[in-house]
């Protein structure tokens, strides 16, 4: 019987230690955030965006709320509230100031940034102011209710100023007299009721007006023409003429001659 060859055994080897590497080991990869943590981060980011948008909208709304530079300050604490008792107003420097008719104490102040009031009229519980940029404003003592821009103001306002421009016509109507036209506004809301342009070759004189009963007699000098055409009588319905039709301040008459 043949004897099997002896088994081959690898020679015994001793492991050789490796020399330390000069390259630092790579940092361990960051741990993957938990799914719940990532969701919280997304929600927080969304909330931050919503808050930023709300803040921007609020700032835009605040900017739109004062497009004319209005600065209205009611009565200070300890004084009578703006709605209590009668008051009158007048221009004082760059402000419109209202005073209590009994005590003389200031009731409220109204200013516009960078502007100056040229004329102030108190009538029917309203204060109407004409400003040096041709803007017309109305306030009831609680807030500024309306703004109206006068056309062509840059042509006449610097030389004319506010003398005679604001004329009350009664029944809650205000006449704004300029050389080119007379504009009638409703005091309560500034609604334009009617317009009366000057005749060709003529010009109204705001300072040349006289009150006679319920009528306002307004001078309208002309280069040519009879003197009778150089005087105009007005009231809250417009120009006073025989058998006139109202110019739209109230309900008009019905019929073929009624104006719309």
Q: How confident is the model at residue 11 (pLDDT cuts 50, 70, 90)?
A: very low
Q: What is the largest CA-CA distance in the chain?
A: 162
pTM across the whole model: 0.67
Contact yes or no for 100/138 (Cβ under 8 A) = no
Lowest-confidence region among 31-45, 66-80, 87-101, 217-231: 31-45
Neighbouring residues of 110: CB distance < 8 A, sequence distance ≥ 6: 70, 71, 72, 73, 95, 96, 97, 98, 127, 129, 137, 139, 144
Give which of 173, 167, 133 is closest to 149, Cα–Cα: 133
- The whole-number average pLDDT for the span 156-178 is 93
> How far apart are the C-alpha atoms of 165 and 120, rounded to whole Å?
10
> How far apart are the C-alpha atoms of 138 and 129, rounded to whole Å?
7
pLDDT at 217: 95
Lowest-confidence region among 74-78, 106-110, 239-243: 74-78
Q: What is the mean pLDDT of the chain?
A: 78
Rounded to the nearest 5°, which phi and psi values hold at 49? -65, -40
């Amino acid at each position: 019987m043949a004897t099997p060859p002896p088994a081959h055994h690898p020679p015994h080897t001793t492991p050789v230690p490796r020399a330390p590497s000069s390259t630092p080991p790579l940092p361990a990869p960051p741990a993957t955030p938990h799914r719940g943590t990532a969701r919280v981060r997304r929600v927080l980011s969304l909330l931050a965006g919503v808050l930023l948008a709300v803040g921007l909208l609020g700032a835009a709304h605040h900017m739109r709320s004062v497009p004319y530079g209005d600065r209205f300050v009611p009565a200070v604490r300890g004084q009578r509230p703006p709605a209590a008792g009668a008051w009158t107003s007048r221009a004082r420097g760059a402000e419109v100031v209202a005073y209590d008719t009994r005590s003389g104490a200031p009731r409220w102040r109204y200013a516009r940034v960078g502007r100056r009031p040229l004329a102030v009229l108190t009538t029917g519980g309203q204060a109407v102011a004409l400003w040096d940029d041709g803007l017309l404003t109305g306030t009831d003592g609680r807030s500024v209710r309306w703004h109206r821009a006068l056309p062509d103001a840059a042509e006449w306002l610097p030389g004319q100023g506010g003398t005679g421009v604001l004329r009350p016509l009664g029944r809650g109507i205000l006449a704004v007299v300029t050389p080119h036209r007379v504009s009638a506004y409703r005091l309560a809301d500034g609604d334009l009721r009617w317009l009366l342009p000057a005749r060709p070759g003529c010009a109204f004189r705001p300072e040349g007006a006289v009150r006679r009963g319920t009528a306002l007699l307004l001078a309208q000098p002309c280069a040519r023409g009879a003197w009778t055409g150089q005087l105009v009588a007005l009231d809250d319905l417009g120009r006073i003429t025989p058998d006139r039709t109202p110019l739209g301040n109230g309900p008009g008459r019905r019929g073929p001659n009624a104006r719309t």
